[in-house]
Amino acid sequence: MSEKIKLLFLGITMNCAGTEKAFLSLARHLDYDRFDVTLLLAKAGGPLFEQIPKEIKVIEMPEYGEMFTLSGGTAMQAIWDCYVKKNPFVLFEIFPYAVRYLFGKKKRSQTAMRLWVRLMKKMPEVPGEYDVAAAFWGDKTMFYMVDKVKAKKKIAWLHFDYSNPPREDKLYLPYFLSCDKIINVSKAVDDELKARLPQIADRCEVIENIIDPGLIWDLALQGESFPDPWFTGKRILTIARICEQKGVDFIPPVLRKLTADGLPLRWYIVGGGDEDDVNRLKVQAVTEEVADKLFLLGPKTNPYGFLRDCDIFVLPSRYEGKPITVEEAKIMYKPILVSRYLSAEEQLDGGRLGYITDIGEEGLLRGLKKLLGDPELCDMYTERLSKLPRSVNLEPVLRFEEICAE
């Protein structure tokens, strides 16, 4: 029997998020007779940690893991603990970036990533050597893989729209060119990246996320549901991280306008977020006088009971790659409303499988008025979704295994 291929996945942590669920779906279907798989996590924990297949060896970064889980509120403390305490002279390296960050508001995200990469280069290399390394958790893991991992083949996995928020080509291009393959999760995302950086077009490939309809239905039948079973009005559900990207700040003013005439309606958000972002949304709900109609249910390892029992699923994001939550709503036959993010047309078959609206409050309000006022349209979406294939498509995992073995 031939020797197994040594495969290293690079991740951050196992939170209740799309990337983590996409990884688990792939991991459940890998051929472990062919692959010896290791998962390197910045922090070996999170609500989905226990779902990692037992065949996978999990290792944790001994230090610097905090640098992969930065948020606006924790960035300075993490940099201080990881670097400045050990070497105060690092402050002189940080200072120019801090000045640019303060005075260059339009390029703050690019400046922050530049600083992150500069500090990442001080991290130690990952011990050992692998046949294949796959940076599954996006750009930070890609930078780290290229600079700190020894592997014969390196694969970057992009779950996001490269153009939103704007990224700096001068920083990203050398790293992309250091990867043997760049996997995009949708054709729209792939086309956008190749149009922006034609130099890497020959390295790009589309491998869609694996979705298991049977598993999702099983979990839906087991999962908890809404905390107010006596409510008889319409339930709108959003499953998303509470942050600017997901457009949750559009929800309170739209909810106020929808319920101004007494429409019995409640909106539920399943998902966590930074404390500042969550508190900001709570304040906004109070200001818009919808705090009794907007329910923040927090992150859930099994959100499918809520999805099963909602009336409309809404994702009002400003930008996306190809969100798994929309695929899950399709599996549950739910009327779906999404903003016009990059892959929305592809994901909802040009609007045949759900309603696509303009990004922002006006588009969200217009789309919900349409769905709430037209039950026949909702029934049509449900009927079309119920006719989609119910089997697991294993072509993505087979293609990934083929790339690893090439």
Cβ contact 354:335 at 8 Å: yes
Domains of the chain: 5-210+394-405 (3.40.50), 213-386 (3.40.50.2000)
Q: Which residues of 52-82 are buried (b: 16+ CB within 10 A; e: fewer)?
A: beeebeeeebeebbbbbebeeeeeeebbeeb
Cβ contact 144:122 at 8 Å: no
Question: Which whole number is the average pLDDT over 378-390?
Answer: 95
State residue 64's pLDDT score.
92
Model confidence at 73: pLDDT above 70? no
pLDDT digits (tens, 9 = 90+) for 158-183: 999 999 988 999 999 999 999 999 99
How many angstroms separate the CA atoms of 134 and 348, rounded? Answer: 29
pLDDT digits (tens, 9 = 90+) for 334-346: 999 999 999 999 9
Confidence label for 84 from pLDDT (cuts 50, 70 and 90): confident
The whole-chain average pLDDT of the chain stands at 94
Rounded (10°) angle between helices 90-103 and 108-120 = 170
Phi, psi angle pair for 309, to nearest 5°: -100, 0
Q: How many other C-beta atoms are found inside a 10 Å radius of the C-beta of residue 391?
A: 8
Model confidence at 188: pLDDT above 90? yes
How many angstroms separate the CA atoms of 27 and 274, rounded? Answer: 28
Model confidence at 112: pLDDT above 90? no
State residue 154's pLDDT score.
98
Tell me which of 32-41, 65-74, 245-254, 338-347 is least confident.
65-74
State residue 286's pLDDT score.
98
Confidence label for 107 from pLDDT (cuts 50, 70 and 90): confident
Q: Strand pairing partners for 38?
A: 8, 57
Model confidence at 148: pLDDT above 60? yes
Question: Which whole number is the average pLDDT over 299-307?
Answer: 96
Between residues 294 and 274, which one has the greater pLDDT?
294
Between residues 112 and 353, which one has the greater pLDDT?
353
State residue 104's pLDDT score.
67
Model confidence at 220: pLDDT above 60? yes
Confidence label for 151 from pLDDT (cuts 50, 70 and 90): very high
Per the structure block, which two tokens stand in for 116?
A: 């992150």
State residue 245's pLDDT score.
95
Q: Which residues of 328-341 are buried (b: 16+ CB within 10 A; e: fewer)?
A: bbbbbbbbbbbbeb
Percent of the chain with pLDDT over 90: 83
Cβ contact 173:197 at 8 Å: yes
pLDDT digits (tens, 9 = 90+) for 21-30: 999 999 999 9
Amino acid identity of 233?
A: G
**How far, in Å, are 88, 300, 324, 390 from residue 122 at the CA level?**
14, 36, 34, 48
Q: Strand pairing partners for 298?
A: 270
Q: Please enumerate, as own/partner, the contacts of 143-149 that have beta carbons within 8 Å and a separation of 24 or more.
A: 143/116, 143/117, 143/175, 144/10, 144/68, 144/120, 145/10, 146/175, 146/178, 146/179, 147/120, 147/121, 148/120, 148/123, 148/124, 149/8, 149/10, 149/125
Confidence label for 223 from pLDDT (cuts 50, 70 and 90): confident
Percent of the chain with pLDDT over 70: 98
Q: Strand pairing partners for 9?
A: 39, 134
Model confidence at 98: pLDDT above 90? no
Model confidence at 1: pLDDT above 60? no
Model confidence at 144: pLDDT above 60? yes
Per the structure block, which two tokens stand in for 368?
A: 């919900």
Confidence label for 386 from pLDDT (cuts 50, 70 and 90): very high
Model confidence at 95: pLDDT above 80? no
Model confidence at 101: pLDDT above 90? no
Tell me which of 31-40, 220-229, 374-383 is least confident.
220-229
